[in-house]
Copies of this chain bind each other. A is one copy, B any other.
Amino acid sequence: MSQGETAAVVKADAYGLGADRVAPALAEAGARTFFVAAAEEGVEVRAVLGPGPNICVFSGHMPGDTDLIRDAQLTPMINSIDQMLMHVEALPGHAFGIQLDSGMNRLGMEEAEWSALRDIALAQNPFLVMSHLACADDPDHPMNSYQLNTFRAMTDGIDAPRSLSATGGILLGADYHFDMTRPGVGIYGGMPFVDARPVVRLELPVIQTRDVLPGETVGYSNTWKAETPTRVATLASGYADGIIRAMGDGAYLWAGETRCKVLGRISMDMTAVDVTHVSGAPDSLELLGQHQSVDTAADWAGTIGYEILTSLGHRYDRVYLNA
């Protein structure tokens, strides 16, 4: 069985966790190829990684990217004939990859474009020929084998290395691995990798606590009213910090081993929480950690764990622990 390379996806500031700290840690762990969404991100990752690692850009070679791609030695994943022409005219001989559309209709060349370009492109030794799965989070979805077969039909027999799968596709099995895999959310502790360990812990400081009597309301628009005497803590974080407002009062935080309900509307900079059953006055409460994951928080907001991560705010004091 051949060994494939495991690349690391560090786009969107490493899924909100700080590419300047995450990318070097992944390089230290052995990653040699990194993926970002846009050339500007690639420049930032190159600045922290230095020369050597491959930094691939999913959006390819867009107008205005040429200087960034050349100066930071980025490898654009070319998505169209237009991009291919721009790339070879602006940066002849500069590394590139090819992105194919195998059915998601989001990025990459369609079969007709690829047929027209294939021989010319392959003669220039692309770094990678890749595609992306639309439904890999659902192992039983027929789209997975459809895209696998389409990708094979478009690429079987070529010499260039191939890549199809991110986290979800990796879990579909070896048929989906090809020469390189590109895990993203699986690195960052989110579904669909059920065995992923949480990588982020989020504690929100308490500004003050108060006792609220039955009939009193808490927060904007009076949406929560006390029915019994309640001790309320006001936390110093709100939706501007990525405590997505849609979580509303379905969300919980933890004070030690005590689960505490969010009360009323989440404000821009503050969140009210029921700490009636907490002994003592807590200095902070935990939103993400061992008690609940980004996927739990995502359920409250009607979204996916990825958006919880990428929404993490910039006002937090971020502490990085070395494994």
Contacts and interface: CB of A to CB of B under 8 A. Distances in A.
Contacts of A304: 245
Contacts of A15: 240, 268
A131 interface: no
Contacts of A107: 207-208, 234, 270
Given A12-B268, A303-B246, A315-B41, A218 B105 contact: yes
Interface string A218-253: 111110000000001010100110000110000000
A208 B234 CA distance: 46
A58 B105 contact: no
Given A104-B218, A105-B219, A219-B104, A60 B239 contact: no
For chain A, what secondary structure do more than half of its interface residues adopt (helix, strand, loop), or is it mixed? loop
Interface stretch (A87-95, A119-127, A209-217, A288-296): A209-217
Given A12-B269, A245-B303, A310 B134 contact: no
A243 to B, nearest CB: 10
A232 B105 CA distance: 8
Interface bracket on A: 35 or more
Given A79-B207, A134-B219, A137-B221, A267 B307 contact: no
A13 interface: yes
A306 interface: yes
A33 interface: no
